[in-house]
Amino acid sequence: MGQSVRMRFRTDGWHYADLKASGETFENYYPESDPWRTDPIVKKYWDDTPKAEPGDVWRIFWYHRGSDGEYIDDRIAGYAICCIGCGRVHNWINARHCSQPVQKDWGESCVHRENYTSCWTWSGSAEEGTLTASPSLQVLQGPDQPCGWHGYIQDGDIHI
């Protein structure tokens, strides 16, 4: 078997963690002209979020507005996982080449996207370190995803 990393569940934000893993700085990401740069809550959130490390995993939810107008996270859409190949965070919600396509007027979608579910079957628990994904995960190479990592998750271990 190839390289393996034990998954670590995180509850902070994957977006800032990924930006930090790529070498981004707060000052560069929020230039002086950006009003978010002076928001103390945004700065604190940036400062408090450690960079992503291979094996880090975050839950991603589908959400909707409740009757009171507030957003409700109620169904797991998939997971954001820091890649053991390139060290960047990849989101595993919908597969580009899902096995259950649906043709729409605007192009191809999939039954999972239409039903707000995931193209992968997830079992176990990210929090308890027992998460398993089926089928395997593959990053299709392209301008946004240059690594091409292909592996699998079994009982909380991420394998190449």
Q: What is the pLDDT of residues 135-157, one digit of tens each?
A: 888 887 766 666 888 888 999 99
**DSSP string spanning 90-153?**
EEESS-TT-SSEEEETTEEEEHHHHTT--SSEEES-TTTT--EEES-EE---SSS--S--EEEE
Average pLDDT over the chain, rounded to whole? 83
pLDDT at residue 97 tops 80: no
- Say if pTM beats, i.e. exceeds, 0.75: yes
Q: Could you give phi then psi for residue 153, rounded to 5 degrees?
A: -120, 125
Do 7 and 153 meet the contact criterion of CB atoms below 8 Å apart?
A: yes
Report DSSP state, residue 54.
T
Hey, where are the domains in the chain?
A: 4-153
Higher-scoring residue by pLDDT: 26, 117 = 26
Q: 117 with 92: CB under 8 angstroms?
A: no
